[in-house]
Amino acid sequence: MSANENVTDRTPDLPVSLRDLATRVIGEARSSDSGNAALTLTPTTSGAVKQTVIAVTAGSSIGPDHWNGPATVQVLSGRATVGGDTVGEGEWTVVDGEAAEISADDDLAVLLTVAPNA
C-alpha cells in the first residue's frame, strides 16, 4: 500500500468546516486498514500551496512521503508529536526536515499545508 493510497482529491463544498472534516476523516481512518485517511482541500496542480486534512489513529504516524516541500501542520483534533514537540488541538507548527514525522498520541486530525514548488 502506498503512503498516499487513502488520500483523495475530494474537494468539499465551500465554505469548509474544518471541525466537521476532522470528524469525518478520523472516522475514515478508524475504519481503514492503514489507520489513516486524508482529504485534499486545494487542487494539487495549481496554487502555491496544497492543503490536506489528514487523520491518523492513535499510535500511528505519517512521514515525509506525505509532503514534498516545506510544510506546516495545524492540529484540528487530538494531540501529536512533531519533531519531538507535543502539539495539541488548535496549535500550529512547522514540519521541519525530510526526516520529520507526525506521530498521533491520540486519534488525530491535522491540516497539513505544503508549498510543493518552494
pLDDT digits (tens, 9 = 90+) for 66-117: 787 788 999 999 999 998 899 999 999 998 766 688 999 999 999 999 887 6
Q: How far apart are CA 99 and CA 61, in angstroms?
A: 13
Measure the CA–CA gap between 94 and 112, rounded to whole angstroms: 10
User: φ and ψ at 20, to 5 degrees?
Assistant: -65, -40
Provide the pLDDT for residue 6. 45
Check residue 25 and give its pLDDT.
95
Integer Cα distance of 62 and 103 in angstroms: 7
Q: CATH says 7-114 is which class?
A: mainly beta
* Confidence (pTM): 0.83
Which residues, 6+ apart, have CB-to-CB distance to 7 below 8 Å? 37, 38, 39, 40, 52, 54, 66
Predicted local confidence at residue 11, as pLDDT: 62
